[in-house]
Structure 1
Amino acid sequence: MYKIIPHAYDTEFPWNTTISERIEKLLKGKKQGKRNAVYLYELADTSTFRYRVYNVCQALDLSIEWNGVYFFASEMKYLIEYIDIIDVLVIARFRWTQELSSLISKFKSYGIPVGFESDDMIFDNSEVGLIMNTLSVEESSERYDYWFSYLGRMERTLQECDFGITTNDYLSKIMSEKTGKEAYVIKNFMNRLQLEVSDDYYEQKKRQASSEKFVIGYFSGTPSHINDFRVVAPELINVLEQCPNAILRIVGFLTLPKGFEEYVEKGRVEQLQLVNFVDLQQLIAEVDVNIAPLMINRFTNCKSELKYFEAAAVGTITCATPTFTFNQSIKNGVDGYLLNQGEWSGKLLEIYNDKNKNNMEIIKNAKQKSIDNYAFYNMVGDTNAVFDKVSR
């Protein structure tokens, strides 16, 4: 475990700007000769909105070709008012409404391309059973009504759009097959504040050695990951049994399966509440290893690699299930570890005992990859390229 001094920051909601400020940014972009890519999202949040909308717009701030601005459901009237200076409209994970449909039709009548953005496979009603099972959703009429409605409305929005944008090739292929339209990839990546605090924590870790406590971090976020946690639970218990100094840190809402009671009583399982995305980087930096177990199926293969690069940025080793995206992002044994069931306890014990003498090299490689592949300022070219294609 590492002792990390918190990094000072002004706000955990850097995207909280006024409608006047965002309209001014739209006008400024046009004056500068840039093309305006406008995102429409229902209501700002710290997960999908941050990664798929705010971060992309921040990357485009460094572009000489494109300008990114976001608006919300309650602000649709402004999109009509300023339609003449908008070049592309991207509707991000937005449930269909009649008002939204009318907006899409209006933009199409002006010849402006309209896209649908999603970071999950949440636009196909035929996948309801798989999704509910993966997320451990209780089966009931109310739950079925919710999920069929949610996916159905997302699907309707997608079908009315001209193209799609997703986080990885696996998900983009599914989206294209669903619609017969092109679906492009803009990877998840880190914003300026996230990188700033992460760099600070990485440097702090470089100046110290881990304490006697060996902390395994599981940053679940929501209780829907219980089935993912079960993938590794027996092997975590084995590590706790064999390593008296090992502690399991869980951040988020998770009901532990049977077998952990003894370790909870002994204080060897920490269960911490959800924190904002800035403070999360500190909690990840404090642990010795980050675990990202997942069931492997069509839904989880669509997930992005953010749990890897968030840890890599602060100098924490990641052990992950070899889903499609983790396979694409992690080079096993070089900048992280890819583990199947039956391999987790052995690898965690190896890291604990530092027998491979390779941990520092892996941390260094992963940190460099987090900058090269997932820093907002290195994603400008890829983002420009997508908007160039959809605007032709």
Structure 2
Amino acid sequence: MLWDNQSLDTRLDALRRGKPRIAWLYEKRDTSTFRYRCFNPPATLEKMRPDIGAAWFERQDIPALIKELSGIDVLVICRFRYDAELARLIVAANGAGTRLLFDCDDMVFDINQVHLVLDTLDQPTDAEVHWDFWFAYFGRMAATARLCEAAITTNEFLAARISQAFPYLPVHIVPNYFAPDQEEVSRALLAAKRKRGFQGTGDITIGYFSGTPTHNKDFAIAVPALARLMAENSSVRLRIVGFPPPSEALQPSMDRVEILPLQDPLNLQRVIAEVEINIAPLQDNLFTNCKSELKFFEAAAVGTWTIATPTLPFRHAIQDGVTGRLARAHEWDFALAEAIELVSKPEAYAEIAEKAASDVYDRYGSERQVDKILAAVGLG
């Protein structure tokens, strides 16, 4: 991953470069929460506000972080499960007068919702070990939240869930958004599509960018319509990036299904730009309404049309029929047929793609987030 090149010394230097100083802590770099919640904010401040000290850290950096606490104004603890090592850091932070904030991008802190989450994520529930793991995961996340002064999250719906679980915690919203490097790459990819007039290569590729191996039931919502479309139209191809969910319905068309491994956040934008239609099917329940809209804005930023389930975040992000399409479970055949028709008209596709791109850069561009970040950490 691209951020592996940032050594601990480099990050400590970034933290010390100015005042105030803000540190973000995550358990371990991964292809999920880390980029948007822990890496992007300090990267944004480094470019937009170089007078502020900001850097990210992970569990193995805690000993070094403890030594820096006397100079750190705010420590944002991102989705970190409580344990003895974190407890030592929190005690030291309290002693140093460092404010502690809890950042969470999923409903993984309320044990009352464990069963719903396991069902949504298609996780096994047939043995005690599974229940032990997930109840411990949620409980330890809640233990971390209770030791913080305020919370930060991605949208209003999840903010309300945090407020319900922890009524004493003020909650601020910093949406998932593009860091400067993601935005730069995305604008270049959009410019390349604009130069060729959004003309395709003949085949039409639909992309599904799953990210984690927990979306079997989500993908299944769109599979029947996808299978019918691919059976009827031999020019339609499917690209799956990440973890391909099992699907018997697609087997007859598997010669037109391309499966790619997980991509780093910058190359992912290229892979999304290469498809004409992006799909983001989700089950519609309490847990999925807490999910952010990033699958839409990642695609719109590179000029790719999106069809998504109308969860609250997608309804807030997408102007239905204008910047993307919202499709309930029974509407996927129509939405896919409409998208295929749109792709066949490059001028119409270009007009819509430009509108969607302009909208997401205005709402999810890095420059727009600086004030939100500073307000959320109490420094605005």
TM-score (norm 2): 0.93
Q: 2:353 aligns with which of 363, 367, 373?
A: 363
Q: Which runs of 5+ in 1 are unaligned?
A: 1-11
Whole-Å separation in 2 of the counterparts to 1:54 and 1:274: 18
Whole-Å separation in 2 of the counterparts to 1:372 and 1:161: 32
Q: Are the equivalent residues in 2 in contact too, given 1:66–1:384 (CA < 8 A)?
A: no
For residues 320-353 of structure 1, give each alpha carbon's deviation from its aligned partner in whole angstroms, at most 9, with x where no partner exists. Answer: 0011110111111111111112222112212212
Q: Are the equivalent residues in 2 in contact too, given 1:335–1:363 (CA < 8 A)?
A: yes
Q: Are the equivalent residues in 2 in contact too, given 1:231–1:294 (CA < 8 A)?
A: yes
Which residue does the alignment assign to 2:240? 250
Among all aligned residue pairs of Structure 1 and Structure 2, give the percentage whose two residues are the same amino acid: 38
For residues 1-60 of structure 1, give each alpha carbon's deviation from its aligned partner in whole angstroms, at most 9, with x where no partner exists. Answer: xxxxxxxxxxx423532222222222221xxxx211111112222321111011000111
Per the TM alignment, residue 184 of structure 1 is displaced from its structure 2 partner at its CA by 1.0
Task: Report the secondary structure of 1:82's partner residue.
Answer: helix
Which residue does the alignment assign to 2:284? 296
Q: Which runs of 4+ in 1 moved over 4 A?
A: none
Q: How many residues align?
A: 373
Which residue does the alignment assign to 1:142? 129
Which residue does the alignment assign to 1:9? none
Q: 1:155 aligns with which of 133, 136, 142?
A: 142
Q: Are the equivalent residues in 2 in contact too, given 1:15–1:54 (CA < 8 A)?
A: no
Which residue does the alignment assign to 1:340? 328
Which residue does the alignment assign to 1:213? 203
For residues 152-192 of structure 1, give each alpha carbon's deviation from its aligned partner in whole angstroms, at most 9, with x where no partner exists. Answer: 11111111111111111111111111111111111111122
Per the TM alignment, residue 64 of structure 1 is displaced from its structure 2 partner at its CA by 6.5
Instruction: Tell me whether 301-310 or 108-117 shows the greater mean CA deviation.
Output: 108-117
| Greater RCO, 1 or 2 (C-alpha within 8 Å, sep 6+) | 1
Which residue does the alignment assign to 1:25? 14
Q: How does 1:41-190 map to 2 (within 5 A)?
A: 41-61=26-46, 62-63=48-49, 66-139=52-125, 140-180=127-167, 181-190=169-178
Q: 1:202 aligns with which of 190, 207, 211?
A: 190
For residues 59-114 of structure 1, give each alpha carbon's deviation from its aligned partner in whole angstroms, at most 9, with x where no partner exists. Answer: 11212674322222122223332222111111111111122123213322343321
Q: Are the equivalent residues in 1 in contact too, given 2:215–2:245 (CA < 8 A)?
A: no
Q: Are the equivalent residues in 1 in contact too, given 2:22–2:74 (CA < 8 A)?
A: yes
Per the TM alignment, residue 126 of structure 1 is displaced from its structure 2 partner at its CA by 1.5
Per the TM alignment, residue 219 of structure 1 is displaced from its structure 2 partner at its CA by 0.8
2:256 paired with 1:271: no
Q: How does 1:367-382 map to 2 (within 5 A)?
A: 367-382=357-372
Q: Are the equivalent residues in 1 in contact too, given 2:306–2:324 (CA < 8 A)?
A: yes
2:245 paired with 1:260: no
